[in-house]
Structure 1
Amino acid sequence: MQQKLEVYNEILRRLQESNHEEANLPGFDDQLWTPFNSLPTRYALDVNVERAEDVLTHKRLLRLAHDPANRPAIEIRLVQVFLGFEGYMHEITFSTDDKPKLLSQLTSLVADIGLNIQEAHAFSTVDGWPYEETEQLRDALAKEVSKIEDREQFRIKYDTNHVAIPNDGTDVWEIDPKYLKFENKVASGSYGDLYKGTYCSQEVAIKILKPERVNSDLQKEFAQEVYIMRKVRHKNVVQFIGACTKPPSLCIVTEFMYGGSVYDYLHKQGGVFKLPNLLKVAIDVSKGMDYLHQNKIIHRDLKAANLLLDENEVVKVADFGVARVKAQTGIMTAETGTYRWMAPEVIEHKPYDHKADVFSFGIVLWELLTGKIPYEYLTPLQAAVGVVQKGLRPTIPKNTQPKLAELLEKCWQQDPALRPDFSEIIEILQQIAKEVGDCGEWRKEKSSGRFLSVLRRK
């Protein structure tokens, strides 16, 4: 309330000093209090006091939205911005009643007419529209708003120039390639290359498919990856920024992870995780995987190479090239992933579900613990045969913390039903973390060794 009052008093002072006509009317101070009183505290934090007249606009829109016939009330105005250069954007303000998913629907329609949200507060500033056509933008938004109630929850967005991508009502996320700048190549594979680059001055990772390798099957894989990445947003999942879905320039753009992969840290940089740091990494991964499973997404290729580190030592799950939304039956049969981390039921082409990821996580835990490649003296195929036919598992070091060793064995049980869910894994790991001396505050403290410092200097 104190924050609200401070901002309110400053806005009132500025409006009265500017001799704004409305500010001189009787009872204006009480009327001005309406938006501050009816909206949450974050509204006061978002309002720019340098533009005090904005509050009058918000007050008017709130009044309009009291009538259901006016919902959502919309105001659009041109704003001048300075992002290293002088430019223009449109500021869009919606006022409406609070309905589940309505904000995401409004956000979706902004994308549907070709706009890109640059920042979102109590209002959103967007670009992607000619600055002189504010009235036309208002008409386009009004037209899209009218469609919201009739919008299907699931549909396929497809035209002759685009890869077919399932659309569940969220943003389309199409990126114009001209805003991408490629810098150094980070990695290369048989089907695509990974680059460090920028998108609208933001540092990003760009995974681009090699045009000569693109066929109908690869396009389907690409479309599936975009579809899944559009659905997820979690601090322990690499953030999707957008995609170019117009052949032949098929690429996926994500946040750039400065720490590289856990695999590189272990096997190329010679890094070693002490137990507190190992637990930090394991909990980050578990939280990301729990989120994916809660959203019915099976990763299907969980391994250290697909775990990336950001500049704040947060670990995020990456690479959804073979991930899938779980079938309604809850089971799948296709063999996919990497043999050394693959669950036995997947290797045998038996029906499998999200517990296949738990098996892979057990191998990842062992990888973190030992810094070694699983079954390093066997070929991948020999390892797969051993896992299925002989119950082969990596050898747990004798000095492993007992509860951690027990968790490893639970995760790679032959019977998927005996493996824990990630929600249970998180609890076990957090309990172990407390027992090794961090008293529940281990996540907030900085490790003495700064285990990523060697990578950050690269």
Structure 2
Amino acid sequence: MAEEDTESRCSIPAGFSPALTKKQKLKVNIYNEVLVRLKDSDVSEARQPGFEDELWSHFNRLPTRYALDVNVERAQDVLMHKRLLHMAHDPATRPAVEVRLVQVHSSSGSNSSRKADAQCSGSAGKQSHPPPAFGLSEDLELALEAKKLQVQHGNNTVPRPIYEITISTSDKPKLLSELTSLLSDIGLNIQEAHAFSTTDGYSLDVFVVDGWECEETERLRQTLVNVILWSEKNPCLDHNVMPPVLGPDGGMKVTGDHVSTSSEGKDIWEIDSSLLTYEKKIASGSNGDLYQGTFCGQDVAIKVLSTDRLNETMKEFAQEVSILRKVRHKNVVQFIGACTKPPNLCIITEFLSGGSMYDFLRNQKGAFSLQSLLKVAVDVSRGMKYLHQNNIIHRDLKAANLLMDGNGVVKVADFGIARVQAQSGVMTAETGTYRWMAPEVIEHKPYDNKADVFSFGIVLWELLTGKLPYENLTPLQAALGVVKKGLRPPIPKHTNPMLVELMESCWQHDSSLRPEFSDIVNMLRQMTRRVADEREDRRKGKSAKVVPTLRHGSAE
């Protein structure tokens, strides 16, 4: 190959600023390396006019993380990703799904996985398979899982076959949550996942899984296409909630224990949208925007539902209205009313000037003092105790969903995915935010209100450290670590031993071992008194008291 030809292909793509950041330089270098590998191969597509621009366009529409994570030695995988994203544009070929057997080598270099490959009819007679396109997370050492997950074949032990599933479809809120749930529903165990969104509204999600029998990969691919299509055609189906529909007058009707408005009788909390004044936007999300405003002279927060995804978001909107209208507690955000007739769909609550605990921690650039932490924790646990006493599971408890008023009182907020607990006492369907999610929820197993207790334990850690849980991992890597490795956030040295005990009891893997919020309230009150006593003793120059062990259900 001529030296000048190589140089012409290894340059900054047209239209890209020469003033590159470190990550942008890496992205360009990876693009060039993939380009060279493809042109040096026998891939006919790489010899077509305009291919260089098409390849750069592919890299540029995906986040920089895609380029940094992809295995450049498997340059043809990039073409596969490019092809799937192209197919996702056409409703006739969407979702685009690719399934292949992959080879996962453990750190010991064992070749035992080849024995399994040879026995799979999907291997087409080959003795080995390519590695995954993005590898496996070193942080969690998930590559070792492939060696541990084994089945018996006579007297020989061989690993289960490992598959890489790549899915491209229209991007939407909570798509990754839906896909992981669907994979679990058909019996697949996710060992690793990489999720990317393009700049033009499409997704590229790559899963490394096991749990599928040794069959043709085409059968697994077709199964996935079928279940994804079914899910897209039935977006409102849920084991515990009936889908909302619009009544003949345009008002919202939800069957069962949920919102119902009709022309025959208007609920007292229905608000005339003309009485609302919007002052400034506070936040934006995939389902709508949050504004500060006024209603009849009162400062309020107005959560406006986006009409772009009305069919997808109506269920959560109805559910939040249903729950908020029933609750009234000092430590739960106060519901004022709602507009439930399109196009003015919004929820109006009290305005809490202190903002969220998440923002408070970031603004003060540090964690709470122990005394302040205990005050916040008592407020949150009181609110959660009330919700659980009324059979309401929050399902998304985290610092970002805890708001503070002007007097420093903290309240539980954001009931978009909260649910009324089923009569059986357990629920299914994964929901919430991965970094705070209980292991039984991550694994799509039945769960109850103890899932909120697990999340509360993570919230305590947030308040203690001022950091994002598992900040060096992606959300899905963190979730896999929680389930498979017993991963929990590291508790700093010199943390109050009573607080350590409470956090560890809250995030027990076995939900039955976690305390109830009624117990947590009592434990926090004990802790508050003891911390205050110790401070007073130090002030008076006395020696600190011996700290007794906290017990669930101790008297106040």
* TM-score using structure 2 length: 0.50
Of 184, 187, 190, the match for 2:286: 190
- For the 8 Å contact 1:170–1:230, the answer to whether it is kept is no
Letter in 2 for 1:163: M
Q: Report the CA distance shift for 1:378/1:170 in structure 2 as closer, same or farther (over 3 A).
A: farther
| Counterparts in 2 of 1:310 and 1:200: CA distance versus 1, 3 Å | same
| Equivalences for residues 293-304 of structure 1 within 5 A | 293-304=388-399
Give the corresponding residue for 2:526. Answer: 431
| Aligned counterparts, 1:52-451, within 5 A | 160-165=249-254, 166=258, 172-215=268-311, 217-437=312-532
Deviation, structure 1 residue 171:
5.3
| Cα distance between partner residues in 1 of 2:425 and 2:246 | 26
Residues 405 and 208 of structure 1, relative CA distance in 2, 3 Å threshold:
same
Contact residue 265 and residue 271 of structure 1 kept, 8 A: no
Quote the Cα distance in structure 2 between the aligned partners of 1:159 and 1:297. Answer: 30
Per the TM alignment, residue 218 of structure 1 is displaced from its structure 2 partner at its CA by 1.5
Change (3 A) 1:439 1:202: farther
With over 3 angstroms needed to count, the CA separation of the structure-2 counterparts of 1:347 and 1:379, relative to structure 1, is same
* Residue 368 (structure 1) shift: 0.4
Q: Give, in angstroms, the shift of residue 161 of structure 1.
A: 1.6
Deviations 1:339-375 (A, max 9, x none): 0000000000000000000000000000000111000
Instruction: Give the unaligned 5+ runs of structure 2.
Output: 1-244, 537-556
Shift of 1:160: 3.0
Alpha-carbon distance in structure 2 between the residues aligned to 1:254 and 1:159: 28
Contact 1:244–1:252 at 8 Å: present in 2 too?
yes
**Contact kept? 2:430, 2:442, Cα under 8 Å:** yes
Partner amino acid, structure 2, of 1:187? A
Contact 2:374 2:528 in 1 (8 A): yes
One-letter identity of the residue aligned with 1:333: T
Q: Over residues 411-451 of structure 1, what are the superposed CA-to-partner deviations in whole Å (9 max), with x where a residue is unaligned?
A: 0000000000000000000000000116999xxxxxxxxxx
- Give the letter aligned to residue 252 of structure 2: V
* 3-state SS of 2:325 partner: helix
Deviation at 1:219, TM superposition (A): 1.2
2:444 counterpart letter in structure 1: H
User: In 1, Cα distance between the equivalents of 2:272 and 2:466?
Assistant: 41
> Distance between the aligned counterparts of 2:481 and 2:252, measured in 1?
40
CA shift in 2, pair 1:159/1:317, >3 Å: farther
Please give the alpha-carbon distance, in whole angstroms, between the structure 2 residues aligned to 1:440 and 1:224: 45
Note closer, same or farther for the CA distance 1:412–1:365 as it changes in structure 2 (3 Å cut). same
Aligned-partner SS, 1:282: helix
TM superposition shift of 1:170:
11
What is the root-mean-square deviation in Å for CA atoms of aligned residues?
2.2
Rounded to whole Å, the distance in 2 between the matches of 1:236 and 1:256 is 14
Contact 2:259 2:321 in 1 (8 A): no
* Corresponding residue SS for 2:343: coil
- Residue type at the aligned position of 1:367: E
Distance 1:170 1:390, change over 3 A: farther
- Specify whether residues 158 and 263 from structure 1 end up closer, same or farther in structure 2 by C-alpha distance, changes over 3 A only: same
| Change over 3 Å in CA distance of 1:340–1:167 after alignment to 2 | closer
- Could you say what secondary structure the match of 1:231 adopts? coil
Please give the alpha-carbon distance, in whole angstroms, between the structure 2 residues aligned to 1:254 and 1:277: 26
Q: Distance in 2 between matches of 1:413 and 1:160?
A: 49
State how far apart, in whole Å, the 2-side matches of 1:365 and 1:376 are: 16
2:491 counterpart letter in structure 1: I
Q: Secondary structure at the match of 1:340?
A: helix
Instruction: Note the C-alpha offset of 1:176.
Output: 0.2
1:115 paired residue number: none
Q: Give the drift of 1:158.
A: 5.7
> Contact (CA 8 Å) 2:434, 2:478: kept in 1 or not?
yes
% of aligned pairs identical? 69
Residue 79 (structure 1) aligns with: none
Asked if the contact 2:302/2:346 (under 8 Å) is kept, the reply is yes
Between Structure 1 and Structure 2, how many residues are aligned?
A: 285
In 2 relative to 1, CA 431–382 (structure 1 residues): closer, same or farther, beyond 3 Å?
same
5+ long unaligned stretches in structure 1: 1-155, 442-458
Q: Deviations over 1:191-234 (max 9, x none)?
A: 1000000001100000001122211x321211111000001000
| Contact 2:252–2:259, Cα closer than 8 Å, also in 1 | no
SS in 2 for 1:308: strand
CA distance in 2, matches of 1:404, 1:395: 13
The Cα of 1:273 is off from its aligned counterpart by 0.9
Q: Distance in 2 between matches of 1:392 and 1:202?
A: 45
